[in-house]
Chains A and B, each alone.
Chain A
C-alpha cells in the first residue's frame, strides 16, 4: 500500500511540475508512515516540503497555492489533525469555487491516515468522513486496497476540486500486485468486490476486509452476499448500490465511524428512497458504537465493527 501511494505521488510529480507535497515530516524523516520515502532525495526541498506543526497554516497555505495555479498534496500525519485546519478546509477550500461565482477553483488533495489504528485512543482514531461529507463542494475518497489507492490518488491529483483522500494506517502494510505503469480509476464509481444475490453489504476502506471475511463465512452457510466497496464516498455511486439492492432486496451497511449521522445513515436513506418497493427487510447498520475510542484493546474491539457483528446483523436481516 505504501509503495502504491508513493508511486501515485511520484508519477503525478513527474507528470506535472505544479504538483508538490507538504506536511509534517514528509521530507527528511521520510514520512511519519514512510509514504513519502525517498521523495525528498528525488525531488528536492522545493517540491517535498517539511512543515512545522502548523496544520491550520500549511493547509491554508496549500489552499492559497491551489487558488493561484499550483496543485498541492497536503499530508496530514493523521486526519484527526485536520480538525486544527478545519476552518481552512471548510470555509476556504470547499466553498470558494461556488462562492466566487466559479472564478477560483481549488485543486488540492488532503491525504493521510483516517480512523482507528491500534490502541491510539480517541484523539488519533476518528473517522472524519461523515463530518466532512455533510458539506457540498468536495470529493471524499477512501480506498480499501493498494490498486485502488494508486489509481484513485492519481485521479485525485488531476481533479480540480478539493479532495479528502482517506487512507488507513492498518492497511499500509497490505501487499498486492499492482501495475507499475500508469493507470487511473474513476472518481465516483463504487466497486463490486463480491457478486451475490441474497443481500447487499455496502462499506468502504478497512471495513471491506472485515466484510470479505464475513462473506466467506456466509457463503459456507449458503448465504451469497454482494459486497460493494464505495471507494468514493462523495459523490456517492448510488446507481451501483441501488442496482444491487433491487436484486438482493436486503442491505447491511458497515462503517468504521460512528453510527449517528454517519455515511451509512446517508447510504441507507438513499437506498430507501431509490429501492423502497424492493426491500424485504429493514436496513441494518454496523458502525462504531457511540463512544469515543477507548485505549484498552478489549474496549476498542467492543466499540468497532467486527466480523462477528457483521455476521450477526446479516443473519438477522435475512431471518
Chain B
C-alpha cells in the first residue's frame, strides 16, 4: 500500500475563526507557551541524555505538541488522564513542574516518582501514568471511565492516548468493546505518527486505510479525524468530541494524524525513513504553524514569540540544573512503598 493513501480523507471540519476568537489572544498565547515548554524540555532532556545524565529509554514528544496541549487545555482536573511511555508532555501539561520531571529523568530523589519510574512513568494526581507496555494503559483508562460512571460523576471522563502501533493489541479492542458495551465516558486518542518503531502502519494493521474510522464503526462509537499538526483543528475537534461524550456518556475514538520528528526513542536513528520524507514532514511543524497563524491574525509578534521561546528554554535549562543538583535517592529508601498501607 502507498503510504500516502492512508491519509486521503479530510479532517474534522473546525470553524477556525470561532475557535480562535473564543479562546482569545491570552489563552492562545498560553497554549503556545505550553507547546514551547514541551519542545524546549525535550530538547534539553535529550541533550542531558547524550551527556549521560539520563539513562534507559527516552521517547520524545517533539512534533506532537499540538495534540495533548489542545486536549488537556480543554479538560479540567475532574477528569482522568492516561498515556503511553511518551509521557513527558502530559505530565508538564497537568502541572508537574519541569524540575520534578527532569529530576525523574535523572533518577533523583526529587523526581516526580521519587526516581522509581523514569522517563516512561510520570504521574500527577489525575494522571494515572505513563505506561511502558504498548497498549497496556488502554484498559486502565477504561477502568477510570468506569469509575466516573459508577460514581455518577457526569462531568468527568477519562482520556487515553495511544499510538497507532497499539491498535493491533488485544488490549485496545477489548477496551473499546467494553467501553461501547457499557457506555463508558472514555475518549481514546490514537496519535497516528504512522511508525511503530520502524514498522510503518501499513505493515502493521490489516486493511490499514483509514483503520481508525473503521474500528470506531465496528464498535459503534463516534469517530473524529484531526490534524495533529494543527493546534486549532485539534482544539476545535477535541472540544466537539468532549461535548459529545458529556451529552451521550458514550466513548469516542479520535485519530490525530501526527508526525514523529525524532526516532521512536533516543536510540533510533530512523534509517527506515528517507531524509527527504523527514524533511517534508518537519516543514509542518505544529509550533510554527500555530505561531504563523497567531502572527497573521495580529495576536502575536515575532518578538513576543522569541521571548516565549527563551522563557521556555530558560525553564528547561533551569530544570536540568535543578536535577543535577538534586540528591540521589537514599539507598535506605529502596524497599519503601512496595506495599501500600
| B117, A61: Cβ atoms closer than 8 Å | no
Q: B136: which of A46, A69, A88, A160 is its contact (CB, 8 Å)? A: A88
Encoded as 1 (CB less than 8 Å from any A CB) or 0, chain B from 59 to 95 comes to 0000000000000000000001010000000000000
Chain A interface bracket (under 10, 10 to 19, 20 to 34, 35 or more)? 35 or more
Q: Which residues of chain A are near B341, meaning CB under 8 Å? A: 160
CB pair A161–B340 under 8 Å, yes or no, is: yes
Complex contact B142–A61 (CB within 8 A): yes
A61 partner, pick from B146, B336, B338, B340, beta carbons under 8 A: B146
B181 touches A52 (CB 8 A): yes
Taking the closest CB of chain B, its distance from the CB of A24, in whole angstroms, is: 13
Q: How many residues of chain B get a CB closer than 8 Å to chain A's CBs?
A: 44
Q: How far is the CA of A88 from the CA of B337 in the complex (A)?
A: 20
Given contacts A52-B177, A57-B171, contact A66 B143 (CB under 8 A): yes
Residues of A within 8 A of B263 (CB): none
* Bound Cα distance A59, B143 (Å): 9
Q: B338–A98 contact, CB under 8 A? A: yes
Q: Is the CB of B146 within 8 A of A64?
A: yes
Flag whether B270 is at the interface (Cβ < 8 A): no
Q: Kindly list chain B residues whose C-beta atoms are within 8 Å of the C-beta of A196.
A: none
A217 adjacent to chain B (CB < 8 Å): no
Contact of A97 with B339 at beta-carbon distance under 8 Å, contacts A64-B128, A87-B133 already known: yes
B34 at the A/B interface (Cβ < 8 Å)? no
Residues of A within 8 A of B116 (CB): 98-101
The answer for the CA separation of A161 and B113 in the assembled complex, in Å, is 18
Within 8 A of B (CB), among A247-270: none
B146 to chain A: closest residue by CB: A65
Report the bound CA distance from A67 to B150 in whole Å.
14
Q: Closest residue to B120 on the A side, CB-wise?
A: A99
Give Cα A312–Cα B129 distance, bound, in whole angstroms. 53
| B139 CB–A CB distance under 8 Å | yes
Min CB–CB distance A218 → chain B (angstroms): 38
Which residues of chain B are within 8 angstroms of A91 by Cβ–Cβ distance? 131-133, 136
Q: Across the interface, which residues of B come within 8 angstroms of A99, CB to CB?
A: 113, 116-117, 121, 129
Distance A69 CA – B147 CA, assembled complex (angstroms): 7
CB of B178 closer than 8 Å to a CB of A: yes
Chain A nearest Cβ from B314, distance in angstroms: 27
Q: Which residues of B have CB within 8 Å of A63?
A: 139-140, 143
Tell me, yes or no, whether A110 is within 8 Å of chain B by CB: no
**Contact between A52 and B338 (Cβ–Cβ < 8 Å)?**
no
Please tell me if the beta carbons of A68 and B339 are within 8 angstroms of each other in the complex.
no
Q: Considering the complex, give the chain B residue whose CB is closest to the CB of A159.
A: B340
Q: Kindly report which residue of chain A lies nearest to residue B179, judged by CB atoms.
A: A61
Mark contacts of A35-73 with chain B using CB atoms, 8 A cut-off: 1 yes-contact digit, 0 otherwise.
000000000001000011010111111111111111000
Are B128's CB and A61's CB within 8 A? Answer: no
A96 at the interface (CB under 8 A from B): yes
B8 to chain A, nearest CB (A): 32
**Are B177's CB and A54's CB within 8 A?**
yes
Q: Is the CB of A68 within 8 A of B80?
A: yes
Q: For B336, list chain A residues within 8 Å (CB).
A: 102
Q: Does A119 contact B (CB under 8 A)?
A: no
**Max chain A C-beta neighbours (<10 A), residue from B82, B116, B139:** B139
Contact with A along B322-341 (1 / 0, CB 8 A): 00000000000000111111
* Cβ-defined partner of B340 (8 Å) among A65, A87, A105: A105
Q: How far is the CB of A298 from chain B (nearest CB, A)?
A: 38
Q: Quick check: is B274 within 8 A (CB to CB) of the other chain?
A: no
- Complex interface residues of chain B between 130 and 173 (CB less than 8 A to chain A): 131-133, 136, 138-148, 150-151, 158, 170-171
Are B139 and A65 in contact (CB-based, < 8 A)?
no
Q: Are A65 and B147 in contact (CB under 8 A)?
A: yes
| Beta-carbon contact of A96 and B129 below 8 Å | yes
A68 and B338 contact, CB distance less than 8 A: no
Query: Which A residues are within 8 Å of any B CB, using their own CB?
Result: 20, 46, 51-52, 54, 56-70, 87-88, 91-92, 96-107, 136-137, 139, 160-161
Name B residues whose Cβ lies closer than 8 Å to a Cβ of A.
80, 82, 111-114, 116-117, 121, 123, 125, 128-129, 131-133, 136, 138-148, 150-151, 158, 170-171, 174-175, 177-178, 181, 336-341
**Other than the known A60-B175, A68-B128, A103-B113, what 6 A-B pairs have Cβ atoms closer than 8 Å?**
A20-B150, A65-B147, A70-B151, A97-B337, A103-B125, A161-B340
11 contacts between A and B (CB under 8 A): A54-B177, A57-B142, A57-B170, A58-B178, A63-B143, A64-B140, A68-B128, A88-B140, A91-B136, A101-B116, A103-B125
